[in-house]
Amino acid sequence: MEKKNDNFIMLPTVDICFKNLMENPEVRRGFIAALLKVQPEEIEESTLLPTTLQRDYGDDKLGILDILVQLEDGTQIDMEMQVAYYEYWDARVLFYLSKVFTGQLKKGDPYDRLKKCIHVSILDFIQFDGDESCYRTIHFRDDHTGNKYSDLMEIQVLELKKLPGKVKGEEDIISWMRFLGGKTREEFEDMADLNKYIGIAYEELQKLSADELKRLDYESREKAIRDHKSFMRGAIKQGLKQGLEQGLKEGQAIGERSKLREITKKKMNRGMTAEEIADDLEEDVETIRSLYEEILKEKTDDPQ
């Protein structure tokens, strides 16, 4: 039987580890205080909310968050840990933030019941390559005056790959970013001495790492992320190898398939079966059935 590494420690950049850490109310208190730039004692209470976003219609895209927290004043904070590069991350953020924001109201509710919603992207890749800033907050602003349009929606982006060298007296959020991006037990131990709540987070991290069932879940998720990265690298390499000519052929085929898929989707919305659609379009039944099943499955969120 293979002997387990006694020095094993989970990494917070693996989303399942991050979620487990944020289930600890004291860890949440410390991290949220850093995000809001307030003292931890000011975060009196935070409640974990369901992370599957409500769908208004049956064919709406399903949204599943990593962590959704509600504060005592009604503010909601959606936290997402993302390791692998995601091309449409900006659009995904807006989609999730909008769903959280609109999900506060039920039919007939007045707009003054809307509370502030904050999306927090914790990224282990570089999203903004035009500057060296590792932490930023984003609001709706007037293009001409620069005045803030509303404070009800906010985006915070933490780019772990851009963390600068350590300096004394750095902001708490930067210390938290160092912890979340840590790679070794020694790094976590060093950071645990700098901040009470990061110390609590490290204690929780050690407990999670010592839990055999949690470790199995973690290793399974870590493998899935690793396999996804490998697949994407392989796909890019293969695409370059095939060259422009093959790429154009594939692009044409993809375009034709995309058009057929769109037509199939419209006919599905009218209640037609795969067989009826194939007959109507004079297409192969298996081809249409494959598209039909693919469209049914698109309601589930893409994997990280």
What's the 3-state SS for the chain? CCCCCCCCCCCCCCHHHHHHHHCCHHHHHHHHHHHHCCCHHHCCCEEECCCECCCCCCCCCCCECCEEEEECCCCEEEEEEECCCCCCHHHHHHHHHHHHHHCCCCCCCCHHHCCCEEEEEEECCCCCCCCCCCEEEEEEECCCCCCEEEEEEEEEEEEHHHCCCCCCCCCHHHHHHHHHCCCCHHHHHHHHCCCHHHHHHHHHHHHHHHCHHHHHHHHHHHHHHHHHHHHHHHHHHHHHHHHHHHHHHHHHHHHHHHHHHHHHHHHHHCCCCHHHHHHHHCCCHHHHHHHHHHHHHCCCCCCC
pTM, to two decimals = 0.73
CA-nearest of 81, 30, 25 to 199 is 30
pLDDT score at 116: 98
Indicate the pLDDT class of residue 242, thresholds 50, 70 and 90. low
| Cα(83)–Cα(11) distance, integer angstroms | 11
Indicate the pLDDT class of residue 119, thresholds 50, 70 and 90. very high
pLDDT score at 260: 81
Model confidence at 112: pLDDT above 70: yes
Model confidence at 155: pLDDT above 90: yes
Region 214-232 average pLDDT: 81
Q: Which two tokens stand for residue 270?
A: 């009218």
Region 230-243 average pLDDT: 62
pLDDT score at 252: 66
pLDDT score at 55: 55
Give the Cα-Cα-Cα angle 53, 62, 136 (nearest 5 degrees): 65
Region 158-181 average pLDDT: 93
| Cα(265)–Cα(277) distance, integer angstroms | 10
pLDDT score at 240: 59
Quick one: what percent of the chain has pLDDT higher than 90? 58
| Cα(218)–Cα(17) distance, integer angstroms | 7
